[in-house]
Amino acid sequence: MPLRICILETDNIHPDLVDQFQGYGRMFQRLFARQPIAAEFEVFNVVAGQYPDDQQHYDAYLITGSKADSFGSDPWIATLRVFLLKRYQLGDKLMGVCFGHQLLALLLGGKTERATQGWGVGVHHYEISEQPAWMQPSTERLAMLISHQDQVTVAPDNATILASSEFCPIGAYCIGDQVLCFQGHPEFDHDYSRSVLEIRQDMYGQQVYQRGLTSLQHEQQGHMVAEWMMRFVGQGKH
């Protein structure tokens, strides 16, 4: 049986990019199609108030990235917090990327805030500090595409830090076999990152923009992270 994943889409991508990239949900579906573990997905845009019925069963819930702040007071974020806390208390598996990574940390006792380091963009490298059995294939260094100005500054008490860098000390973490989160975007590809850099060039400023553009000369390992995520969800399943 394929794994069933509920994707909670927490943003709509820039209108100029919709024709080429559709949205975060579709980007994740394309990403997971490239890894070897069978899975099927349903996408719900929680900004628009879409949620699955309580009767539906999923092997995991994935919270996407967003331009919103995880510590923001938007009504849809408050609704999402309540939904995710209930899912956590019921023992469901939760995965977060960027905004999702930050929101789950905040929800489960950590701290998320605007980073004094400023914007992180382009390809970023992390050192792997812990490697549970499901993190296969293994690597000592991880390259991911990033786009964030907020960071998790204090992890939840029961979290294990999996990846870190000087710029982003809490780059990935897990909580037992229930929660798995990454600051980077495994679903991004170089074309999407380049497009976002161009659109936000004035907002970033020339120094950050040029640094991000130059970093795109490096490969990224989002496909490996996708396999890790599916192995994490599939633990104990036969």
Task: Note whether 68 and 31 are within 8 A (CB).
Answer: no
Instruction: Flag whether pLDDT at 152 surpasses 80.
Output: yes
Instruction: Flag whether pLDDT at 192 surpasses 60.
Output: yes
Token duo for residue 91:
């023992």
pLDDT of residue 49: 95
Domain extent for 120 = 3-234
pLDDT per residue as tens digits for the range 43-92? 999 999 999 998 899 999 999 998 878 887 899 999 999 999 999 999 99
pLDDT of residue 237: 67
pTM of the model: 0.93
pLDDT per residue as tens digits for the range 206-222? 888 888 889 889 999 99
E strand segments, the chain: 3-9, 39-45, 60-63, 94-97, 111-114, 120-128, 141-148, 150-154, 160-164, 172-175, 179-182
Residue 131's contacts (CB-CB under 8 Å, 6 or more residues apart) are 138, 162
Q: Are strands 94-97 and 60-63 parallel, antiparallel or unpaired?
A: parallel
| Type of residue numbered 227 | E
Token duo for residue 172:
């990935």
Task: Note whether 168 and 131 are within 8 A (CB).
Answer: no
pLDDT of residue 92: 96
Q: What is the CATH number of the domain that holds 200?
A: 3.40.50.880
Instruction: Flag whether pLDDT at 117 surpasses 90.
Output: no
Looking at the structure of the chain, the number of domains it has is 1
Give the pLDDT band (50/70/90) at residue 134.
very high
What mean pLDDT, rounded, does the chain reach?
A: 91
